[in-house]
Amino acid sequence: MPKVLISDKMDPKAAQIFRERGVEVDEITGKTKEELIAIIGDYDGLAIRSSTKVTKDVLAAATKLKVVGRAGIGVDNVDIPAASAAGVVVMNTPFGNSITTAEHAIALMFALARQLPEADASTQAGKWEKNRFMGVELTSKTLGLIGAGNIGSIVADRALGLRMKVVAFDPFLTPERAIELGVEKVDLDTLLARADFITLHTPLTEQTRNILSAENLAKTKKGVRIINCARGGLIDEAALKAGLDSGHIAGAALDVFAEEPAKDSPLFNTPNFISTPHLGASTTEAQVNVAIQVAEQMADFLVSGGVTNALNMPSLSAEEAPKLKPYMALAEKLGSLVGQLAHGSISGISVEAEGAAAELNMKPITGAVLAGFMRVHSDTVNMVNAPFLAKERGLDVREVRHDREGDYHTLVRVSVATRDGERSVAGTLFGNAAPRLVELFGIKVEADLAGHMLYIVNEDAPGFIGRLGSTLGEAGVNIGTFHLGRRAAGGEAVLLLSVDSALDESLLAKVRQLPGVKTAMALAF
Ligand SMILES: NC(=O)C1=CN([C@@H]2O[C@H](COP(=O)(O)OP(=O)(O)OC[C@H]3O[C@@H](n4cnc5c(N)ncnc54)[C@H](O)[C@@H]3O)[C@@H](O)[C@H]2O)C=CC1
Ligand SMILES: O=C(O)C(=O)COP(=O)(O)O
């Protein structure tokens, strides 16, 4: 039974769903990195929010880990390249808390416009300072939206409802989408110069880090009010403090900080500064949404191989997964076979699908081919990291679907480009379930690829099989299955034998000395 650790506070629905789906679950929150490292080796899945940092060290200790599920959106607390390299799928729940977070940004905008926290504190202190608090109206003001994705779009919609004008800076926002949203697409400098309020809704990336730098803050309109419900690193906090102190910035509301938990920020107690402790996603509704979604997605993956909302792997629905499973087993075996047989530098690999296979989602099939192919050289390769490793190694990967009718109802062919030309192997599924090799380097042969195997290329000549049988028998090697194929009578023949024990080099050397043998290799699946 797969086992998941929930390491951040999550709605109880998550644990309930895991259990209902046959996944064992432990909820242990508030662990330090060292404490997490000490226990993570026991788990197949890790369900987190923003507190748990899934670093390289944590991943290195997570020897069984297959999936990290983020009950929320931002995944800047997960080292995704390290997870990909370790073959761990990283998923998030991209929509479950977007409305809630957009509403928090709007709440902070109102709070800034009317100085609600200060007015509240003053009133409850018995001061009744009616003349101290003079707000601004939102109607007709310009809201500058940095990032017009899911949350930014909802913020824009609500702001338009408040009769604000919305200008948006987002390099990926198309003019058509801007029209659909009712916002004006502008460049960053224009936004900075025109906005009365600025709200940030981008992920934290190398491009967005410090997007409101000292230099950019200096370009804002005097009296601007700034809201950040996205990520702390987007704003230079020292420059923000200076802008508030000088009065250039009329107010700032931060839900997120460069360093969290933020316990003694220089911004604290600055007039017109409001803060909340990363509460953007904290509503009952959003937390139930993300808890259910993350648990469903992780259970799908751990129980049936379905992949949804993964950031480092193509999607594979829970309905598709069972259909694709035998194909992935076939693909992995074919990848492994070419990986073991094709020596020397390989510059490209192509995966072709014919018949029923051509109707399927090919990405997982290709991932499995690459995993099988590269696992020959490294034990840590799997479906998740194989495409990344292939890219890193400059391997040219192609996918081809044929709609022609072939000899088999379904066929997957894997070809590699080697120095000696293209080498290809092909396989089918018997009864839609059992992987079977049907072609090896242009020779028709039917074989299961399983366990220890002996691969021989020889000149087809009478008496060879008997001599081979005796050689193996004398060495105490029992033959399980025996598959033979040849180009033409008396021509080159291929033999694939499954044997009950591993073959050692001295036995292979003896086989190579048999008359007519060109190649003899041990294979393992
Ligand atoms: N405070 C909180 O509790 C929460 C914070 N968040 C944060 O909000 C962020 C945004 O969430 P979504 O809208 O769902 O993400 P999204 O991916 O739908 O939208 C992000 C937008 O930012 C844009 N973008 C990327 N690079 C940019 C750049 N250099 N300049 C301007 N725009 C750029 C993208 O094109 C995209 O449209 C998340 O990445 C997360 O960090 C999300 C949920 C809760
Ligand atoms: O979903 C996100 O990106 C968030 O920042 C929400 O964070 P949280 O789950 O509340 O720690």
Q: What is the pLDDT of residues 474-493, one digit of tens each?
A: 999 999 999 989 887 778 89
To the nearest whole percent, how much of the chain has pLDDT over 70?
100
Question: What letters, b where the CB count within 10 A reaches 16 and e where it falls short, cover 384-401?
Answer: bbbbbbbeeeebebeeee
* Spacing, Cα 253 to ligand 2 middle (Å): 17
pTM summary value = 0.82
Mean pLDDT of 442-471: 92
96 lines ligand 2 (CB under 6 A): no
Supply the pLDDT for residue 317: 86
The residues assigned a catalytic role are 231, 260, 278
Mean pLDDT of 444-457: 93
Question: What letters, b where the CB count within 10 A reaches 16 and e where it falls short, cover 410-428?
Answer: bbbbbbbbbeeeebbbbbb
Q: Does domain 98-275 have CATH number 3.40.50.40?
A: no
Supply the pLDDT for residue 188: 97
Q: What is the pLDDT of residues 110-152, one digit of tens each?
A: 999 999 999 999 999 999 999 999 999 999 999 999 999 999 9
Phi/psi of residue 520, each to 5°?
A: -140, 125
Residue 42: pLDDT band by 50, 70, 90 thresholds? very high
Supply the pLDDT for residue 316: 86
Name the residue of 73, 204, 309, 311 to mutate for ligand 2: max ligand atoms within 8 A of Cβ: 73
Supply the pLDDT for residue 238: 98
User: What is the spatial order of strands in the sheet that 89-92 belongs to?
Assistant: 24-27, 3-6, 45-48, 67-70, 89-92
Q: What is the pLDDT of residues 4-24, one digit of tens each?
A: 999 999 999 999 999 999 999
Residue 280: pLDDT band by 50, 70, 90 thresholds? very high
Residue 256 CA, closest ligand 2 atom number: 5
233 lines ligand 2 (CB under 6 A): no
49 lines ligand 2 (CB under 6 A): yes
Q: How far is Cα 351 from Cα 399, in angstroms, rounded to an integer? A: 5
Q: Which residue do the tokens 């929320």 mark? A: 72
Whether 179 shows a pLDDT value over 90: the answer reads yes
Query: Which of these, 482, 525, 468, 479, lies nearest to 501 by C-alpha position?
Result: 479
Residue 279 CA, closest ligand 2 atom number: 10
Query: Which of these, 226, 234, 178, lies nearest to 202 by C-alpha position?
Result: 234
| Ligand at shortest distance from the CA of 293 | 2
78 lines ligand 2 (CB under 6 A): no
Supply the pLDDT for residue 93: 96
Whether 85 shows a pLDDT value over 90: the answer reads no
Supply the pLDDT for residue 378: 75
Whether 380 shows a pLDDT value over 80: the answer reads no
Lowest average pLDDT, out of 67-71, 157-161, 383-387, goes to 383-387
DSSP, collapsed to helix, strand or coil, labels residue 465 as helix
Q: What is the pLDDT of residues 328-378, one digit of tens each?
A: 999 999 999 999 988 777 889 999 999 999 999 999 999 999 999 988 877
Whether 420 shows a pLDDT value over 80: the answer reads no
To the nearest whole percent, how much of the chain has pLDDT over 90?
82
The answer to whether the CB of 202 falls within 8 A of the CB of 211 is yes
* Spacing, Cα 254 to ligand 1 middle (Å): 15
* Spacing, Cα 116 to ligand 1 middle (Å): 27
Largest CA distance in the chain: 109
Name the residue of 173, 201, 234 to mutate for ligand 1: max ligand atoms within 8 A of Cβ: 201
The answer to whether the CB of 304 falls within 8 A of the CB of 321 is yes
Write down the domain spans for the chain.
Answer: 3-94+285-304, 98-275, 319-448, 450-525
Q: In whole angstroms, what separates CA 364 from the centre of its chain? A: 13
Give just the sign of the alpha carbon dihedral 239, 242, 248, 251: positive
* Spacing, Cα 198 to ligand 1 middle (Å): 14
| Ligand at shortest distance from the CA of 50 | 2
| Ligand at shortest distance from the CA of 153 | 1
How is domain 319-448 classified at the CATH fold level?
60s Ribosomal Protein L30; Chain: A; (3.30.1330)
DSSP letters along 307-353, please? B-SBSSS--B-TTHHHHHHHHHHHHHHHHHHHHHH--S---EEEEEE
Supply the pLDDT for residue 394: 85
CATH class of residue range 3-94+285-304: alpha beta
410 lines ligand 2 (CB under 6 A): no
Lowest average pLDDT, out of 27-31, 117-121, 228-232, 340-344, goes to 340-344
Q: Residue 467: in which H helix or E strand, if any? A: helix 464-474
DSSP, collapsed to helix, strand or coil, labels residue 471 as helix
Q: What is the ipTM of this complex?
A: 0.99
CATH number of 450-525: 3.30.70.260
Supply the pLDDT for residue 15: 98
Which residue owns the Cα nearest ligand 2 atom 11?
50
- CB proximity list for 103: less than 8 A, separation 6 or greater: 158, 283
| Ligand at shortest distance from the CA of 70 | 2
Supply the pLDDT for residue 406: 84
Question: What letters, b where the CB count within 10 A reaches 16 and e where it falls short, cover 349-381?
Answer: bbbbbbbbbbebbbbbbbbbbbbbbbbbeeeeb
Supply the pLDDT for residue 314: 82
Q: In whole numbers, what is the pLDDT of the chain averaged over residues?
A: 94
Q: Do domains 3-94+285-304 and 98-275 have the same CATH topology?
A: yes
Which residue owns the Cα nearest ligand 1 atom 43?
73
105 lines ligand 1 (CB under 6 A): no
Supply the pLDDT for residue 313: 85
The answer to whether the CB of 141 falls within 8 A of the CB of 148 is no
* Spacing, Cα 66 to ligand 1 middle (Å): 26
Whether 388 shows a pLDDT value over 90: the answer reads no
Which residue owns the Cα nearest ligand 1 atom 37?
149
Residue 460: pLDDT band by 50, 70, 90 thresholds? confident
169 lines ligand 1 (CB under 6 A): yes
Supply the pLDDT for residue 155: 98
| Ligand at shortest distance from the CA of 203 | 1
Whether 66 shows a pLDDT value over 90: the answer reads yes
Name the residue of 204, 228, 278 to mutate for ligand 2: max ligand atoms within 8 A of Cβ: 278
Q: Which is more confident, 376 or 186?
A: 186
Supply the pLDDT for residue 421: 83
Query: Which of these, 194, 237, 247, 239, lies nearest to 215 by C-alpha position?
Result: 239
- CB proximity list for 491: less than 8 A, separation 6 or greater: 459, 460
73 lines ligand 2 (CB under 6 A): yes
Residue 202 CA, closest ligand 1 atom number: 22
* Spacing, Cα 203 to ligand 1 middle (Å): 4
Which residue owns the Cα nearest ligand 2 atom 10?
281
DSSP, collapsed to helix, strand or coil, labels residue 366 as helix
Q: How far is Cα 278 from Cα 254, in angstroms, rounded to an integer? A: 8
